[in-house]
Structure 1
């Protein structure tokens, strides 16, 4: 019997090396079964703090805790084998000091086994990114629309319609790259800003509501699977999972009520030996 071929996981340096090359495929996952399905098709799986909204029913990502991220990160690591797994650092777990950021990030990596963390990159972020990278923690940054800052930004709205904001987004991307990020997510910006940021940095840009000209793309998986009626403008629904689940539940309910389920094929019979 031949030995099974082992395919090593994607690494942060390999993602960085894809700058300007084959587009990087990224999706989110929050559980082992989904991660197992996505693993073959994705270069990078993000355990996003979007889990608070799409799994736990929160109205924003602000209420997500470090313990929640670790639990879901552990599940995704169990389900995946080859994709680079990145776990979000949630709101309040890294902003106040570099020491706090390292404590949170090191705990995430130690307890999940993931390969990198992601932070939302405001003007404060460069020092934090550099501190983490110098201590062995790969960091993916996030600029543009930053969901953790929605209370300051005024909601989940596209960013960069004013020139000073557009300049700030590009400057934050440059600062994140210079600080040592291996990639940067660019969310909710115009095509022009996303492409300007992509040209301005020597690390891959991962677009979400940005531009096909970014070095890769990411979507929240339940959004692109059609599990929700309302999704952001930039989401394309690649499936109708909500309809599929509703149809299956309807058929199940009908068969329970008319006693056609469970049938003979779904039950056990007592036999004497």
Structure 2
């Protein structure tokens, strides 16, 4: 009789251990059951239920329109598909900024209703009170600094952040603050590689990069970009590992042709 090997779940403690021993952390976005199941089976460490669902799933121009209810729906779907991965859920725009009580309510709803393992917030000192309140409830918090897409209208551009010394110094200060408050990890998005390296070396918690160079503790990409489903978005930091856009288009084209030509279904495919 074969003994089925027990799947060991990834935890915040394991992510910390991975940093300490120099093992890189792999992270991808996921928004639905089927993809989560595939990514989890492949061995991904962390799945981010990103507010990028607003773009790639709902077709919005920015991440701002997605609601808390919609994020919870996507997170529920992802959690049902995993056995091993650590699932982090983005708190959407408007669910935590400027009101720590609202932030705590939002975070509790995400954890209770989705079954996710932690939440992610964008920002540093300006969201300090929200981070404190959420952590006080025992909810793991991942930070997000650098390019913060929820602040796109403030920045006015998706260009590289923290190239100037003042913004770079604030980013380091914010990273240290988030660590001091008790965040278990931080995402750094689209900042100079040298700055990301400085943060990763200075902090003891895992630093995950997206467009932040190779000197951090792990990497995250949006799945639809990495898989080549989304053809519109081609930043320098993106490496595409498949061309699913072409594969899927060809499959659908062949299906249409077979239906039109009365080739599908054939006798073997009928009852």
Query: Where do residues 92-107 of structure 1 align in structure 2 (5 Å cutoff)?
Result: 92-107=94-109
Helix, strand or coil for the counterpart of 1:14? helix
Q: Structure 1, unaligned stretches of length 5 or more?
A: 269-273
Residue 222 of structure 1 deviates from its aligned partner by 0.5
Q: Structure 2, unaligned stretches of length 5 or more?
A: none
Question: Which position in structure 2 is the counterpart of 1:66?
Answer: 68
Residue 3 of structure 1 deviates from its aligned partner by 5.6
Matching residue within 233, 245, 248 for 1:245: 248
Question: Which position in structure 2 is the counterpart of 1:43?
Answer: 45
Question: Which position in structure 2 is the counterpart of 1:16?
Answer: 16
Q: Provide runs of 4+ in structure 1 moved above 3 Å.
A: 1-5
CA distance in 2, matches of 1:5, 1:63: 42
Question: Which position in structure 2 is the counterpart of 1:271?
Answer: none
In the superposition, the TM-score normalised over structure 1's length comes to 0.95
Matching residue within 148, 151, 165 for 2:150: 148
Helix, strand or coil for the counterpart of 1:169? helix
Matching residue within 169, 184, 190 for 2:186: 184
Helix, strand or coil for the counterpart of 1:86? strand
In the superposition, the TM-score normalised over structure 2's length comes to 0.95
CA distance in 2, matches of 1:252, 1:124: 52
Question: Which position in structure 1 is the counterpart of 2:169?
Answer: 167
CA distance in 1, matches of 2:259, 2:87: 41
Helix, strand or coil for the counterpart of 2:230? coil
Residue-by-residue CA offset, 1:30-54 (whole Å, 9 max, x unaligned): 0011000001321110000000101
Residue 166 of structure 1 deviates from its aligned partner by 1.4
CA distance in 2, matches of 1:199, 1:97: 32
Point out the more displaced range, 114-123 or 238-247.
114-123
RMSD: 1.3
Aligned length: 268
Residue-by-residue CA offset, 1:202-254 (whole Å, 9 max, x unaligned): 10100000011100000000000001222222111000000001110111111
